Each structure stands twice: as C-alpha cells, then as structure tokens.
Chain A
Amino acid sequence: MKNKAQMSSSFNYIFALVIGGIVFMFFVGFAYKFIDFSGSLSAAELVSSLNDEFAAFSASDSAEKTLSFSQDLSFRVYEGKILSDGQSKDIDHIIFAPFEVKGEDILLATKSLEIPYRIGNVFYIADGKTVYILVYDASTEDVVQELQSSYTSLPQNFPVEIVSTTQIASDLNTLYELTNSYEKVRFVFFSSSEVYAEDIAALFSSSEILEVHSSLDDYSSGEILYPNGEEVIYLSYPLLIGGIVSGDASLYSYNFQLVLEKLGRVTGVYYDKTKFFATRLPLCDYASMKTALNNFQSFDERSYGSFLTKEAFVEEANKDLGGECPEIY
C-alpha cells in the first residue's frame, strides 16, 4: 500500500514535469513567434511611413526633412528593398543611400530629375553619421560652391563641408578636428586626389575618397570614380548627389538603371504623344521630334557624351515647335 502511494506521488511529479515542460515550450515558441511578428510589423510600419514621406515629397521639386523616431533604427536600402531586422519590404522609388542607415534621426531629401524633361523624383537617405567633404581646385571652385549652396546643392540637412586642395595640403589637422564627431568622412575630389590620398588615410581612420571627372565646365554630367576603382556616369546634378551619397558603385548603378528605365518610359509617353499630335495636326511637322525621341531611347549607357548629344537633338526639335504646333514637353 505504501509502495503504491510512493509510486503515485512519483508519477505526479513526472506528470507535472512533462506538462510543465510542454506549457513552458509552448510559451517560449509563442514568445519567439511574437518577436518575429513584432519585427515584421515594425519593418512594415517603417516602410509605410517612409513610403508616405516619399509620396508626399514627390510633389515637390526639392525638399528636405529629418524624421525623428523614438528608438534607434537600423535598416538598409538595397535593390528596391528596405531591409530591417531580418524583414524585407519592396519600395517603389529611386533611393540613394549609404550601406546602412542607423540612428534615431533619419535625414530625407528629394530632387526632381529633368533630363531634359522631368522623369520623376530621386530620393536621398542619410543618418548624419557621415560627413561629405567636397574638395576643389582653382578650376572647380565655382562648381563646388554651387553644390554647397544653390538650387542644385547637396541637401542642406546633410553634413557637407567644402575645402580647397591648398587647405588639404597645408592644414589637414583643422579639417580633422572639424569632422572628429562623425563616424565616417567621405572626401569627394573635383580634381585629382592622388597627391593627398596618403596623408588623408594616415590621419582619418575611417575615410574614403571619391573623384568626380567631367569634360564640361559646370560638371553637370560626368563620371564618378569610387575607392574600389569602379567608375560610373552621372547625367545631372541630382545623380551626382546620388553618387556622392551612395554606399558604393553597385548601389549607385542599381538606381542609375532605374533612372534609365524611367527615362525610357517617359520618353515613350512623349514619343506616343508626338505621334498622336502628328495625326491630329497633319499640317505640323513632328517628324524630327519623333526621330529625336526615338534615337534618345537608345544612347550608350557607358558614355555621358552620347547622352548629351542625343539630349541636345531632342531639345532642338522641341524648340522648333510652338504656336499652332504645340511643343511636346
């Protein structure tokens, strides 16, 4: 009898342990699922709020805004997706951003892209942890000053400094002290950086150098050379700014392809509009506009010279219209 009672008591303990274990496992599983779900919801909320900001921004030719969140955020913008906490959401905008954006304050900016007609807005994201130092020589001083404070400038809420190559050569320490509070320093040379690269690398522990080259006096189109030796082309100031802000050449190139797709789509609309006008207004000559737009859809994507030549034909053909024969754009 005593033996039976002892067995029953042991069985109770084992039973309680098994049931307790099952309930415990259930709660642990539930907690993990809930964490996953919360992460997914936060990522969705982040993307949704960014999407709304972008949509509202796209009505403007140029705008800037700082979004403040109550907690530290960390996300990446990679090939049309926002990646946050293991979650990924598609985003349908052309966004130039560094490798990773992190912090409580997210800097947003937008600019309208007109090449030669408006094809939409491009967006920039930064977290204020990288300072951009634009370096000029005697021949590029005006260009760099325009990029610091004018309609075509880098977003005013992004940390930007401009210095001359003379200052770089003679007083790099002052620049170091000025930028000491930033995690990263990105030098953008509008001249050759070769002579200064070694000194910069020795003093700035987390820095990189980009070079911008152009055959145009105003640098409105040209090439950007990244630290890994990759070179990309840009077709207007908003794309130059995109190149300066982008983490590397591949992040820039993905967005550049989106720009070309958008350009192709808008050019297609203008081409169809030209055909429509030609049918409705038979006395007007839209042949040269049709040819120019048709050619514009197929420029050499590796050469900004090819783009500029074809763009000039489109502008010329549009200028020749007017009065009884309405312009196309």
Chain B
Amino acid sequence: MMETLMVAMVFMVVLVVALGFYFKFSSQNVEEAGENACIVSNTVMLSSIASMPEIQCSVNGKREQCIDTSKLMVFDASQEYTEFFTSNCKQKVYFTQVYPEPENVEEVCVQGAYPDCAVYPYFDPRVEYISSVVISTPVSLYYPLTDEYRFGRLFVEILQ
C-alpha cells in the first residue's frame, strides 16, 4: 500500500511541476504577444493620430495632410482620449518642430510661448515607467496665424 501511495505522490508532484512550467511558458508567450500587439497597434496609431479631426488641418471642412498647431494649443487629449491611448498599453504622444530648428529644442509650447517653441505635448498618462520604446513619423506642422508650414515629427513613446 505504501508503494501505491508513494507512486501517487510522485505522480502528483511531477504533474504539478509540469503544469507549473507549462503555465509559466504560456504566460510568457501571452505577454510577448501582448507587447508585439502593442508595438504594432502604436505603429498603426501613428497614422491615425495625424488624422484626428481635433488636430488635423482643414480647409473649408476638408482635411489637409498637416497638423494645425493652433488646435494643439487649445485641445487637451489627456482629458478626452484616455481610453483611446491606454487601451492596449500606456504611451506618451507629442509633436516636435524639427526645421527650422528652434532656438531651444526643449521649450514646451504653451499659449504664451506659441509659436516660438519646440515641443507640443499631446497625450501624457502621467505614470511612472522603467523604459520606453520610441516610434516616430515626420509631419507637416501648420501655423495658421502666420500661414506658415514647418517640418516636424510625431512621437509615440510606448512606456514599459
């Protein structure tokens, strides 16, 4: 009888250890799939952010392929788009002016400093993070008060 009990015990121990390994690898795979899905989604999101009506340029109601910087001054996506930006993973979104090169490349744009500034924050979840993956795309920044276009970049910083 003792032998049977021992065999059953050993069998159970082996089973539990095997299942433990299985779940560990499964969860690792799911986490990796989640991270990959996050990067793919954010890459797709680069194009959709630039076409958001709240910030995209328009002429007589028709969209133009540029970002209206005056809209960036008055629209706070952090209040309106929390679910949109954080549904898959957390990210920070901002625009920077690249050319002509601003005097202070780190100057954050607020209504008082506009348009002589460099960084337009768009969405910031205000969370702590250890590292980040940055993806970006070039955009045309439009300044309606002076009817000027400048060269810029849209950055999505995926927080990890």
**CB of A25, distance to nearest CB on chain B (Å):** 13
Chain A nearest CB: distance from B15 CB in Å?
8
Give, as a whole number of angstroms, the nearest-CB distance from B70 to chain A. 6
Closest B residue to A30 using CB positions: B19
- Judge whether A291 is part of the interface by a CB distance below 8 angstroms: no
**Cβ-closest chain B residue relative to A115:** B61
Q: Is the CB of B4 within 8 A of A269?
A: no
Q: Which of A48-56, A150-158, A189-197, A250-258 contacts B (4 or more CB under 8 A)?
A: A48-56
Evaluate whether A114 and B61 lie within 8 angstroms (CB atoms) in the complex, with A16-B4, A41-B30, A52-B40 already known.
yes
A302: interface (CB < 8 Å): no
The residues of A that contact B54 with a CB separation of less than 8 Å are: 265-266, 269
Q: Which residues of A contact B144 (CB under 8 A)?
A: 277, 326
| A-chain residues with CB within 8 Å of residue B128 when the two chains form the complex | none
Query: Which listed residue, A56, A118, A276, A281, touches B56 by the CB 8 Å rule?
Result: A118
Contact B70 A58, beta carbon cutoff 8 Å: no
A318 to B53 Cα, complex, angstroms: 17
Interface membership of A201, Cβ < 8 A:
no
Q: Which residues of B contact A326 (CB under 8 A)?
A: 144-145, 147
- Is B4 touching A55 in the complex (CB atoms < 8 A)? no
Are A277 and B70 also in contact (CB < 8 A) when A12-B4, A118-B56 are? yes
Number of A-B contacts (CB under 8 A): 91
Residues of A within 8 A of B13 (CB): none
Most B C-beta atoms less than 10 A away, residue of A41, A273, A318? A273
**Size bracket of the A interface:** 35 or more
A42 to B30, CA, bound (A): 12
Chain A residues near B1 (CB-CB < 8 A) = 8, 11-12, 15
By beta carbon, the residue of chain B nearest A262 is B53
Most buried by A among B11, B70, B73: B70
Q: Which residues of the other chain, A, contact B48 by a CB distance below 8 angstroms?
A: 55-56, 58-59
Q: List the B side residues contacting A275 at CB < 8 Å.
A: 74
Interface centre among A90, A265, A276 (most CB of B within 10 A): A276
Chain A residue nearest in CB terms to B80 = A265
Q: Does B71 contact A (CB under 8 A)?
A: yes
Binary CB contact string for chain A from 11 to 34 against chain B (1 if under 8 A, 0 otherwise) = 110011001000100000010000
Sample of 15 more A-B contacts, CB < 8 Å, known A55-B44, A90-B87, A277-B144 = A19-B8, A23-B11, A30-B19, A41-B30, A52-B41, A58-B51, A92-B84, A112-B63, A118-B58, A118-B63, A272-B75, A273-B71, A277-B145, A326-B144, A327-B59
A-B pairs with the 9 shortest C-beta distances? A272-B74, A55-B48, A59-B51, A117-B61, A55-B44, A59-B47, A118-B53, A326-B144, A58-B48
Report which B residues bind A (CB closer than 8 A): 1, 4-5, 8, 11-12, 15, 19, 30, 37, 40-41, 44-45, 47-48, 50-54, 56, 58-63, 70-71, 73-75, 80, 83-84, 87-88, 111, 144-145, 147
Q: B-contacting residues of A (Cβ < 8 Å)?
A: 8, 11-12, 15-16, 19, 23, 30, 41, 48, 51-52, 55-56, 58-59, 61, 90, 92, 112, 114, 116-120, 265-266, 269, 272-273, 275-277, 280-281, 318, 326-327, 329
